[in-house]
A and B are shown apart, each in its own frame.
Chain A
Amino acid sequence: MTTTQDQSSTNSGAASSEAAEKRTVRFRIQRCLGPNKPAHWEAFDVPILAGEGANVISCLQYIARRPITADGKETDPVVWDSGCLEEVCGACTMIVNGQVRQSCSCLIDNEAPNDGDVISLQPMSKFPVVRDLWVDRQRMFHNLKRAHAWTPIDGLHDRGAGPQETAKNQETRYIFSTCMTCGCCLEACPQFLLVDEPAKWDESFVGANTIGQVRLFNLHPTAKEEAGERLEVLMGPGGVSDCGNAQNCVKVCPKEIPLTEGIAAMGRATTVKAVKQFFTGE
Chain B
Amino acid sequence: MPEHTTIDHDVIVIGAGGAGLRAAIEAAHSGVSVGLICKSLLGKAHTVMAEGGVAASLANVDNRDNWRVHFADTMRGGQYLNNWRMAELHAKEAPDRVNELESWGAVFDRTSEGKILQRNFGGHKYPRLAHVGDRTGLEMIRTLQDHAIHQGIDVHMEVTVVTLLRDGDRVCGALAYDRERGRFRVFRAGAVVLATGGIGKAFRITSNSWEYTGDGHALAYNAGAELRDMEFVQFHPTGMVWPPSVAGILVTEGVRGEGGILRNSEGQRFMFDDIPDLYKDQTADNEEEGWRYVQGDKNAKRPPELLTRDHVARCIVREIREGRGSPHGGVFLDIAWLKEKLSNAEEHIKRKLPSMYHQFKELANIDITKEPMEVGPTTHYVMGGIRVDGDTQMSTAPGLFAAGECAGGLHGANRLGGNSLSDLIVFGKRAGEHAAIFAKEKGRGAINDAYVTDEIKRALSPFDRPTGGESAHQVQHDLQLMMQKNVGIVRTESEMAHAIDALAQLRERAARCITPGNREYNPGWHTAIDLGNLLTVAEAIARSAIERTESRGAHFREDKPDKDPAWGDRNLIISKGADGAMQIRQEPIPKLPDELGSIIEEMK
Could you tell me which A residues sit within 8 Å of B by CB distance?
Answer: 1-10, 14, 16, 34, 51-55, 58, 64-65, 76-77, 79, 81-91, 104-105, 107, 109, 130-131, 137, 141, 144-145, 148-155, 157, 159-167, 170, 173-174, 177-181, 213, 216-217, 220, 222-223
Contact = CB atoms under 8 A, between A and B. Distances in A.
Contact of A177 (B116, B139, B180): B139
A85 B209 contact: yes
Interface stretch (B99-107, B220-228, B265-273, B285-293): B99-107
Given A86-B363, A157-B103, A170-B107, A14 B244 contact: yes
Nearest to B248: A7
A214 B583 CA distance: 53
A1 B473 contact: no
Contact of B44 (A76, A91, A105, A223): A91
21 contacts: A3-B523, A6-B477, A7-B245, A34-B520, A52-B244, A55-B245, A91-B44, A145-B149, A151-B147, A152-B150, A155-B100, A157-B103, A160-B99, A162-B102, A162-B115, A167-B114, A170-B107, A174-B107, A178-B138, A181-B43, A181-B145
B2 to A, nearest CB: 22
Contacts of A54: 243, 245
Which one of B41, B138, B242, B247 has the greatest number of beta carbons of chain A within 10 Å?
B41
Contacts of B245: 7-8, 10, 52-55, 58
Given A76-B517, A90-B44, A216-B105, A85 B249 contact: yes
Which one of B100, B115, B243, B248 has the greatest number of beta carbons of chain A within 10 Å?
B243
Contact of B110 (A52, A89, A141, A170): A170
Interface stretch (B256-264, B300-308, B354-362): B354-362
Given A64-B523, A166-B110, A1 B364 contact: no
A179 B132 CA distance: 13
B589 interface: no
A249 B355 CA distance: 21
Contacts of A179: 142
Contacts of B355: 86, 88
A170 B109 contact: yes
Given A81-B41, A166-B110, A150 B104 contact: yes
B105 A131 contact: no
Given A5-B210, A141-B42, A162-B102, A178 B112 contact: no
**Nearest 9 CB-CB pairs, A to B?**
A53-B243, A5-B210, A164-B114, A3-B523, A83-B44, A177-B107, A8-B245, A162-B99, A58-B245
Interface string B50-83: 0000000000000000000000000000000000
Given A1-B180, A87-B358, A87-B359, A9 B244 contact: yes
A90 B114 CA distance: 30
Interface of B: 26, 29, 40-46, 48-49, 96, 99-100, 102-110, 112-116, 132-133, 135, 137-139, 142, 145-147, 149-150, 158, 179-180, 201, 206, 209-211, 242-250, 355, 358-359, 362-365, 473, 477, 517, 520-521, 523-524, 527
A222 B41 contact: no
A9 B110 CA distance: 41
A11 B110 CA distance: 44
A58 B180 CA distance: 22
A145 B150 contact: yes
* A-side interface mostly: loop
B570 to A, nearest CB: 36
A8 B364 CA distance: 14
Given A53-B246, A155-B29, A150 B147 contact: yes
Given A86-B49, A150-B104, A164-B114, A4 B524 contact: yes
B523 A162 contact: no
A164 B111 CA distance: 10
A150 B114 contact: no
A34 B362 CA distance: 32
A247 to B, nearest CB: 23
Contact of A222 (B43, B103, B179, B249): B103
